[in-house]
Structure formats: C-alpha cells, structure tokens
Structure 1
Amino acid sequence: MTWLVLLLLSLSPEAETLPPFAADLAVDYFVHKGVSHVCYLSCADQYQNTIIAKNLINHDIRTSAPSVKKSLQNLSMVLDHRNVMGVLLNGECEKAQDILREASRLALLDDHHAWLVLHPPSTSFIQGFQDLNMSVDADIILASYRGDHYELADLFNFGRIQQNPLETIRAGTWNMSDGLNLALKAYKYYDRWNFHNLTLRAISVIFNSPKEFHPEMLSDVRYSAGVSAMTKVAAQILNVLMEQHNFRFNYTIASRWIGTPERNSTLAVTNSLLWKEQDISCTCARIFPQWLDWVDILYPPATTLESKFFYLIPNKGIGDYENRFLTPLSSGVWLIYCLAGVICTISLTIAACMETNSDTPTRLQFKSVIAFFSVLAAVCLQAYEDVQQLEKRFSSQGRRMILLIVGLMSMILYNYYTSSVVSWLLNAASPTIATLDGLINSDLELVFEDIGYTRGWLENPGFYYYSGYKNLKEDKLREVKVTKARRTVPTLQPVEDGINLVRKGGYAYHTEPYTANQIISRTFGERELCELSSLQMMRPAFVYIMVQKNSPYKEFFVWSLQRLSERGHMSASRRRISSVIPPCSGRTPRSLALGQAAPAFLLLLEAMLLSLVLLTLEILWHRYQLNKRAGKKSTRIPNYSITLSE
C-alpha cells in the first residue's frame, strides 16, 4: 500500500517545508471529521508527503496528493467526490491563493469539502478569504502555528453575494500533548446562529399581485385575497426562523409556482431559483421528479395541498345521484298529505251514502262528518267508531275495510318514510357524485380557480398534476368537460364569482378547501350548506419550500425545519391556517332519493289493488245474496185459510 501511495504522489520542484507537527494535526482533525478521503494539495518534499499519507492511511483514510500547480488545471476533477471530502492545503505554497480562488469559482468551498489550510499568522492572508465565494455552509479551518501549538480559526461568510463581511470564529487549539481541543460545538450551525441581519432574496406567489405589497399579507392568519394556504404556512414557519436567527427577506412576488427554465420566460418560483436570482421560496409547491433538476427542496414538508370540486347536490339527473323525490317536511309533502286525507274523506263519504241501512241517518252532512273523523283517527293511529244511540247497531263491511286500509297505510307510510329519512341521514351515503366518472356524466359545468397549477394542468394534456400518476380519467375530464364542452361562462373564475356560480346551481367550482371556506362561511345559508357537496380532485399531497440547486443554505434550513417540527411549530402553523367547511346543522333535512322509499309505495300499490279486489268480491257477494233472497220469495207457496161460518 505504501508503494502505491508513493506512485500517486506528484511532487513540485519548488518544495516548501510544512509547519512542525502538521502531519499529526491533519490526522487528528480529519479523523475527528470522519472523512473517508483526503486530498493533500502539496508542494512539500516527498518525505513529508509520505509521512502525511501513511498516517492518514493507517487511520483508514484514503489519500491522494496531487501537486498544487497541476491541480489548478482540473481542480473540479481533483476534488470531485460524492461524500464529504477532506482537503489539506499548505498555505505557504506559491499557488495556494490561486487554488482558493479557483475553488471559490467552482463553488468548492462548501459543506462537501472540509478544508484544513496551514499557514503562519498573517492578517493579509486571512483577508484574502473576504473576496472568495463562500457562504454559511463553508467548512474551512485555518491552522496557524504559534511556537508550541496551533491556533485554529473557523472561516465562513453568511452571504458573499449579499456583500456580508468575512466571519472568523476561534475554533480551538492543537498541541502534541493534548491533541485536538476544539472550542466549537458539535454542529457548526450552533456557532453560526446569529446571521447579523442578513438579507436573503425570497420569492412568493400572490394571484393578481396587489398594488401595494406588505409582508404581513403572507403570514396573516386571516384570509388574504390571492394568498394560498400553503403560502401562509410557509411564511409563518420562515418568520419563526427569521426571529430566531436574525435575518430578513427581500421579497419578489410572482403569479406562478412552476415556470419554464428558458431565459426571458414568465417569472415563476422555480425558474427564478434556477437562474439564481432568488435564494429561497416563501411558499410551497408540489414537486415532480423532473423539477428536481431545477431546484432543491427542504424537508420535512411544510404542509399538504388538496383541491376539490364544490357543487350543490343536483335535484335531477341520471345514474347514482338521481334525486327527484320531495324533501321531508317540506311544503310539497304537507300538500300531498292533506290531499290524500281529502281523497280518503270523500271516498268514505261516498261509501256511507251508498249504504241502504234505513236506521242510519241519510243526511250528507252527518255522513261527511263521520268520514272526516274516521280519517283523522286513522291518521293519528287512534280508533274511532260512529256509535249510534240505538239498541241495534249496524255496520258496513266496505266502510270497515276502507277504514282498515286507510289506518294501516297511514301507519306504514309514516313508519317507512320516517325510517328511510333517518337511516339515510345517519347511515346511507348522500346522493352525491363520488367519482370522476360521475362528474364527467353529470350535467354540471366545470369552472376553475385562476391559479398557476390549474393553468398548467389545462394547458398541458398528459400532465397529471392532481393524481400524481398517469390517470387517463384526468385527460377525459379535461377533454369532455372543458375542451369540448359547451360553456356559458369562462373556464377560469375568481373565487368570489366561482362560489356564486355554485350557489346558483348547475356549476362545479374547483379550488382549495381553505379558499372555498372563506367565501362559503360568510355567504351560504343553512339550506345551501345542507345541499353543498364536494368531490376530491387532488388528495392531500406534500408540498415543500424550495431553494436554489446546490444552495449553500439548504443544510441550514433543513436542520432548522426539523427543529421546528420536533418542537411543534410546524403543526401549530398548519392548525392556524386550516379551515373546515361549515357542516349542515341537520335542522334542514336533505331531499330523499326516490329509490330509498320505494318499498313503502310498492306496498301502498299492493294494498290498493287488494282493496279493489275486496270491493269487487263484496259487490258480487251482495248481488248474490239479493238474487238468492228474490228466488226464495218467488218459489214460496201461498197459505190460504178458509173460515166457515155457522
């Protein structure tokens, strides 16, 4: 292994001497960092290179030692490594400053490269780092030999692009007796907590950008026109971090989340981050794999995004949602109930008038009163008998049968109807549209909120934003209900206008539940709330705050969001912004589907047919009795008696 290392060493003719104990310092530091590979940019002699390489290899750290001059030609390849890589640089080399400037240009002064720069104390050498492209994620330790020990300094910058000054923190010491003694905390961002009022560039989304923008619009728990719920959650979370770490945002407002990557295209969140015009998004977006080539996402996700079609339950139609029957306890039900009572009363009056009982009063007024109270008693499920104050009581079998049928059917209809209503309200599914097929086959006209991701869905057939996977029903819905549909209103509508169309009936409006609730809660009455229904278009999907690709702030924000999640800040922000559509109180019942009460009406029809059969049999039996009595009278022999007088 030693001979292999020696073959890899590339030596410079102008050899420089390393500071004393540099090899021991390098071993202790990189073992502490836990790196698996160290690149030693060397200009020292072969002996010193061999000592450092052997010491690192003995600690299972792979080592390469290219010369400084040759590394300048292809530094990106020399320092290319997937995992965290250690870089040891002798600052006294002639080209050391050139190496640092080239690494700055290639963005190699980041968290993926742990730099250890050896150099004697020099203010001018340290000030050279001021002009380097380094940020808060930089991992650079400057080691200066002070006679019997090394002084270690941590160098970074909160934002070179924002013209922030170089930050220098005492990192600790190293000596032969005690080894490495770091004053830094275990995780570097605890020592970089205060950003000293750093200004970061943030981009957010507001539909129809207002004439005057105030940052409070993004985080206010109250509804702000044009600001989505996920934007408010993201703004509240980032506001907590701004207070904790002392930085602020310079806001840019766009109208869309996702844009094309070509230059001079419409400004959006993704392409502004891709062009490195912004540092972070003060909003969230649902991310698909192809967009990860443009931006990096921060996890855990800030919240979820969902959307629904809101509509009033149709009172006519086809299929599973047919709903043509009367609403319980409505004026129509009471009118039919009264009409049925009048018909039963008239029927009983006619039946009473057709009776031939001579002992029963024949006045029409008296018979109608008897019929009325008989029907009323049957409806109230009570007994009634027109008792006459005579020794002999007469009764009609027809009237008894009619009273029996009226009483039984009133009871059966009452029980069936009320039980159907109760069971439907408590257990059965409401007569609503449950699938995209039902929505496609319905008579509802679809309108959408004018929002970025909806425009992208409408303009890009084959883009399954709502499902998140290939779903041909989305294409069919777009084609049948949007592209080829006959329209009475424009497809894209503001929230206020879209909800008003829903109130009129015949329209289904697509928006987020949070947005819809702001209008529905203050404009819908109790009956409209009971008739309101919705169809889930996009199931709750995670949305993420975004930063530049390979952003120097990614690690910091990921660590910060995880801390906020552990402490409940993120869930608290979601609850502040969450909304629930006001439920139906239940005092105004919904209409009952005809099929759910069909058994009661079938039984009524059977009873009516049975009553006609019984009436026919009664008439035939009555005629048979009359004919039988007439035959007996005609065949009877007269009895003549003769009285003789004396």
Structure 2
Amino acid sequence: MRVSVKNIDNTNVDDLQLYLNHWTVHTGVLIAGSCNQTINVLELASRGGLFDASHIWLILDNATDYGNAMAIDDALQRMNLSVDADVVVATNMGDRYELMDVFNFGKIQGNNLERKYLGTWSEESGLNVSASTFKYYDRWDFHNLTMRAVTVVLGRPKAFEPDMLTSLSYTKGISVFTKTAAQVLEPIRETHNLRFNYTVVGRWIGTVTKNASLAVMNTLYWHEQDIACTSARIFSNWLQWVDICHPPVGKIESRFFYLIPDRGIGNYENRFLTPLSPAVWWCAVGAGIFCACVLAVSAAIEKRPRPGVYAVLSVLGAVCQQAYEEGIQIIDEQLSSQGGRLTMLVIGVTSMLLYNYYTSSVVSWLLSAAPPTLQDIDGLINSDFELIFEDIGYTRGWFEDAGFFYYSGYKNPKEDVLRLKKVTNAKRSKELYQPVEYGIELIKTGDFAYHTEPYTAYQSISRTFDDVELCRLGSLPMINPSPTYIMTQKRSPYKQFFNWSLMRLKERGHITAIQARIAGFIAICSGSTPRALALGQAAPAFGLLAVAAFVSLFILLGEIIWFRWLMETELQP
C-alpha cells in the first residue's frame, strides 16, 4: 500500500487512519524519507499506535543527505515504537540499499531506540538478509526491561512485597488465581529478561469511565499498565477493552459454606415417602380394595351385620401392621369361613412384606445417604441462614452492578431474588462483609452461610474445624470452576511473546504443576463420626401420624354420637 502524504491533515490522525485502519490483516506502507511531510506522518502514526505488527513500514532514505538522515533517526527515537514494530529504514548507498530494522522494547518505559542490521538489496543481487529471519527471535531478550504490572491484593496493604504473590503458602488478601498467575509469569520473566514494577489495586473489573476507581481492567484500558500480574474470568463484552493471553492459567470458583443444621432442612430432604415407587403404592391400594371387596362378600354370605364397614376396618387394621400373631388370632376369632381366612391371610402377608421392604429401604438410605446439603439457590433462599461475604472485588461487583454482573456468568433471575431477599431486605445481626477468619468462625454457630473461595476457606477450616464439624460442613457452588486469563492492553505489543511462552509452559506441564502446588489442603470428613438423623428426615411420618390421630379422633366422636343415637332410639316406647 502506498500513502500519499499530501492527502494527510497535519492536525489529526484520522486522515492517516482512514488509509491504515486495518488491524486484522497486514498493511504495508512505503514512505520517502526526503519528503517534507515525512516527520509529520511519522508523528501522526506514533500517536495513532500504527507502529505495530499489523503495519509494515518501509522508509526510503538517502545516505548522502546527512541532515535528513539524522532528522529521520531523531524522529524515530521520539516515536512510540514497540517491541513488535515492523519498521525498516532502507538507506540508499549508491549501488545498493542497506536495510536496518528499527524498534523499541518499550518507549513509554524509557527505553532507547534499537537498531539491527538486516541485510542489503540491489538490482543486481536482489535481497540478501542476515542469518536470523524472524524478528521475534531477535527480540526474545528484553534486556532487563521494566514492565508495568498491575495486581490485586484485598485491602491494598501499604507494606507490599512481590514475594507475597509468588509464595506457595496462603497469604491473606491474595486469591489463588492471583498466586497462580504470578507463579506462571515468574519463569516467563526470567526467559524474556524483564522486570515488573507492581501497582496494587483492590478490584479486577471496574468501569472505564473517567475518574472511576482503579481496577485491573481500566488501568489496562487507559494504558497505565502493560500486563496484569493476576488472572480473571473474562466475558465477551470485556474484550473490547483488553486482550487476553492464551492458554488460561487458573480457575476461579466460589461457594457458600455452612453447617448442616441438626433440626433438618424440611423440603430439601423429604424422602420418607420415596423408597417405594408410585406404581407400588397404587398396586398396594388396589390389592387392599380387592381384598376388602372379597371380605365384604364373604361377610355378607355369613350374614354379618354391616359387612362393608366390617371388611374395610378389617383390611385397614391389617394394613396398619398389627403384630402378625395378633392378626391371625383376630382372624380365627372373627372369621369362620375359609374364604375370609384366606383373604385376611393374603392382606396380612402382603402388608407385612410391604412394610419390611419399605422400612429396609428407609433405614439403608438413612445410613448411606450423603449429608442433606442445599442443592440449589432456591434452597439457600428458603433457608434460615444469614448470608455474609468475603470483601472481594467480584462480590462488590455482584452488589454494585446488580442486574449486570452475576456469579453464574449469565443473567440469572434467581441470583437477583437471592440478593433481594437474603441481603437487601433481610434483617442482619452481623455486617455484610467479614474477613475470612471471622466468617469461618460464624459458620460454626450454624446460623450463617459464608461466601468465599474454597482455597481461602479451607485455610481456616483445616486449622479450626474438628471432625464432627467437618462432617457437618456443606457448601453450595455460586461460581462454578471457570478458566481465568492473564490480561494485557488492547493490541499489546507483548501479547504474542506471552502467548508463545504460556503455550510452551502448558505443553511441558509447568502450569498444571503450579496449579497443583497452590491448590492447598482440602479438609474432608474422616467418616468415623456418625451423622445424627435430623427431624426433617422423618417429618412426613410424624405428619402422617398426626393426621391419622386426628382422623381416629373424628371417627371416635362419630361412633359416640352414633351410639347415643342408637341408645335413645331403642329406649323410646
């Protein structure tokens, strides 16, 4: 592509970008160094960020014009060139052109212009280049470049040391995915021979509006930082502000931690009626009705009074599981026909088998079932827990950006209901944000559910919980394990270097090893402490007993009234 300088306005870069506004394909620019407007064009390109890997510049210079050559060199020294710049100065030496590669490891960091001899070109011999043919290999060593790195430490402590980020042990205020990113960047820093000048902020994601609170994302967007020495979960709309390096280096995950209450959790574990399928229950009902009909016919043949009532009550008594011997005795005393005896024998044996299978299923489930933990957000909403949170950036975003930021990563109305009922409109006995140590202590009371990362929570849980409390510990995922990425400026000149280095670390297993070293100890229940059965697990049985007692009382009152009416009727003359 050839750009005519006479069409470029000297006051703004829009005219130049009109020709060079290509970021996904490579664009070549040929410019004459002897032109009066060349310096202006270079300055406009510098302000527009056009000295990058997508734009290939070839500047034709003349060695005989010493003043112009020095002007071009001084101008390039002032330009905002970067490590991925493709700028070649071709100097006319009479019979050939000498090609000089010009770039800068970081102009904004105070570095000087770098020059590397590429080769020559002439009409007779053509293009002759030096042995090195790939610019990124030539620029692999950053010569102790100081890069501006932004990281996140909760509370932004005044006494910050870089070793806090790379330490394998737990450090208060530093998330696991920040430590993972710092550990991964450490070998990359040594490989490329660079240093980090850290800036500490309190949040990962923030608005990019003017005067917004400092966060990782907006400092990169404003070009105040070069790279994030932490990682973050990325959404598609954020990619218009920053670029991400591949592959991901860690995972983010958060949970609500709580103690499973002894009183049971009602609807969340109502399995007292489920050991037998609906088909079994309906078959049992059908068999009872059939036996009642047979027994009623048999009683009618024997001319017993009220055979229908007699048959129903006899079958109901057998189903209610009186003792088997007692049932046989009742049969012998009350029935004389073979059909009646056979009918009651069938209903008695059937009821006994049904009862045995049912109780065996209930007991086996109670002994082997997992602890009755909350299964979803609805369970947390309907629970009696008071919610408290770790003071961390994405949780503040969950409150401050209600309706836009969700733990689940997508629009989730249940999270809005949870926020409204359990936080905004809930009566509180404790402050909403609590430090990890105190939040874990509040969990032990059984009245609170604490939101934090598993890595952070288990640091305190492993030290303070005994085996009984570990067996009662439950958790509800809010942020499912999601990959996190290291972020850079949009169209950062360093992105390609970090992509290659991260891929090499991934292929060689370094990233997996770092993640394993920083995973931390997860305390689990030993299984030696039995779990007490909660009232909620047997609540339906007690409810059924209460209903049956009420019905029996109602029947008793009816029988008394009926008996008195009969007595009064018989005593009348």
Q: Which runs of 5+ in 2 are unaligned?
A: 273-351, 543-573
Counterpart among 419, 429, 440 of residue 488 in structure 1: 429
- 3-state SS in 2 of match to 1:301: coil
> Paired residue for 2:382, among 426, 441, 446?
441
Deviation at 1:584, TM superposition (A): 1.0
Provide the secondary structure at the position in 1 that maps to 2:248: strand
- Who is 1:234 aligned against? 181
Partner Cα distance (1:103, 1:566) in 2: 38
Q: Which amino acid aligns with 1:70?
A: N
CA shift at 1:99, angstroms? Answer: 1.8
User: Structure 1: which amino acid aligns with 2:37?
Assistant: K
* TM-score normalized by the length of structure 2: 0.73
**Pick aligned residue for 1:79 from 1, 8, 20:** 20
1:188 aligns with 2:135: yes
Matched residue, 1:31: none
Alpha-carbon contact 2:263-2:535 (below 8 Å) kept: no
Return the letter of the residue paired with 1:68: V
- Kindly report which structure 2 residues correspond to 1:297-446, keeping only aligned pairs within 5 A, or say none: 297-321=244-268, 428-446=369-387
Give the structure 2 partner of residue 554 of structure 1. 495
The structure, 1 or 2, with the larger RCO (C-alpha pairs under 8 Å, 6+ apart) is 2
Counterpart position of 1:509: 450
CA 1:173/1:576 → structure 2, altered by over 3 Å: closer, same or farther? farther
Q: Is this contact kept in 2: 1:118–1:144, CA < 8 A?
A: yes
Return the alpha-carbon distance in structure 2 between the equivalents of residues 434 and 263 of structure 1: 42
Quick one: distance in 1 between partners of 2:363 and 2:256? Answer: 26
Q: Distance in 2 between matches of 1:249 and 1:526?
A: 44
Alpha-carbon contact 1:150-1:173 (below 8 Å) kept: yes
Alpha-carbon distance in 2 for matches of 1:314, 1:596: 12
Query: Do the aligned residues in 2 keep the contact of 1:204 with 1:252 (CA within 8 Å)?
Result: yes
Aligned-residue offset at 1:519? 0.7
Counterpart code for 2:510: H
Which structure: larger Rg? 1
Q: CA deviation at 1:425?
A: 5.9
What letter is aligned with 1:255? G
Report Cα offsets for 1:552-602 as digits up to 9, x if no partner: 32333233322322232222222221135212111112223568789999x
**3-state secondary structure, aligned to 1:143:** strand
Specify the SS of the correspondent of 1:299.
coil
Deviation at 1:450? Answer: 0.8
Matched, 1:179 2:126: yes
Q: Distance in 1 between matches of 2:130 and 2:173?
A: 49
Among 230, 249, 253, the alignment partner of 1:283 is: 230
* Conserved? CA contact 1:495–1:515, under 8 Å: yes
Give 1:147 deviation, angstroms: 4.3
SS state at 1:493 partner: coil
**Deviations 1:398-437, CA, capped at 9 Å, x for gaps:** xxxxxxxxxxx9xx99x978x96765565x3431111111
When residues 569 and 485 of structure 1 are mapped into structure 2, their CA distance, relative to the original with a 3 A threshold, is same
Residue 106 of structure 1 pairs with residue 48 of structure 2: yes
Verify: 1:140 aligned to 2:81, yes or no.
no
1:90 aligns with 2:32: yes
Asked if 2 retains the 8 angstrom alpha-carbon contact of 1:323 and 1:591, the reply is no
Separation of aligned partners in 2, 1:523 and 1:272: 39
- Please report how far the alpha carbon of residue 258 of structure 1 lies from its aligned counterpart in structure 2 after TM superposition: 1.8
Specify whether residues 311 and 515 from structure 1 end up closer, same or farther in structure 2 by C-alpha distance, changes over 3 A only: same
Contact 2:152 2:202 in 1 (8 A): yes
Q: Which residue of 1 aligns with 2:295?
A: none
User: Hey, what does 1:467 align to over in structure 2?
Assistant: 408
CA distance in 2, matches of 1:135, 1:113: 12
Q: Distance in 2 between matches of 1:323 and 1:591?
A: 16
Q: How many residues align?
A: 451
Hey, what's the Cα distance between the residues in 2 that align with 1:478 and 1:311?
Answer: 18
Match of 2:2 among 40, 47, 54: 40
Whole-angstrom distance in 2 between the partners of 1:533 and 1:134: 55
1:457 pairs with 398, 419, 426, which one? 398
Alpha-carbon distance in 2 for matches of 1:547, 1:291: 12
1:256 maps onto 2:203 in alignment: yes
Does the 8 A contact of 2:81 with 2:103 survive in 1?
A: yes
Note the aligned Cα RMSD (angstroms).
2.9
Cα deviation, 1:442-479, whole Å, max 9, x if unaligned, reads 11111111111101112232134211111110001111
Alignment of 1:472-621 (within 5 A): 472-592=413-533
Change (3 A) 1:148 1:95: same
Return 5+ residue gaps in structure 1 as ranges: 1-38, 42-66, 326-408, 602-646
1:24 alignment counterpart: none
Equivalent residue for 1:154? 101
Is the partner of 1:99 in helix, strand or coil?
helix
Query: 1:50 is matched with which residue?
Result: none
3-state DSSP of counterpart to 2:419: helix
- In the alignment, structure 1 residue 202 sits paired with structure 2 residue 149: yes
**Contact between 1:257 and 1:453, CA under 8 Å: does it hold in 2?**
yes
Identity level (%): 56
Cα deviation digits, residues 124-175 of structure 1 (max 9, x gap)? 2334311111111111112223444432221100111111011111223334
Counterpart residue identity of residue 454, structure 2: P
Asked if 2 retains the 8 angstrom alpha-carbon contact of 1:203 and 1:251, the reply is yes
Q: Deviations over 1:334-377 (max 9, x none)?
A: xxxxxxxxxxxxxxxxxxxxxxxxxxxxxxxxxxxxxxxxxxxx
Change in 2 beyond 3 A, CA 1:223/1:460: same
1:80/1:233 CA distance change after superposition, 3 Å? same
Alpha-carbon shift at residue 185 of structure 1 (Å): 4.2
1:315, 1:322 within 8 Å by CA — same for their partners in 2? Answer: no
The structural deviation recorded for 1:186 is 5.0
Give the equivalent residue in structure 2 for 1:23.
none
Distance in 2 between the 1:434 and 1:529 partners? 18
TM-score norm. by structure 1 comes to: 0.65
Kindly provide the CA deviation profile for residues 162-210 of structure 1, in whole angstroms up to 9, marking residues without a partner as x: 1101111122333445533333645422110111111111111111122
| Cα deviation, residue 485, structure 1 | 1.3
Q: CA distance change for structure 1 residues 72 and 111 in 2, over 3 Å: closer, same or farther?
A: farther
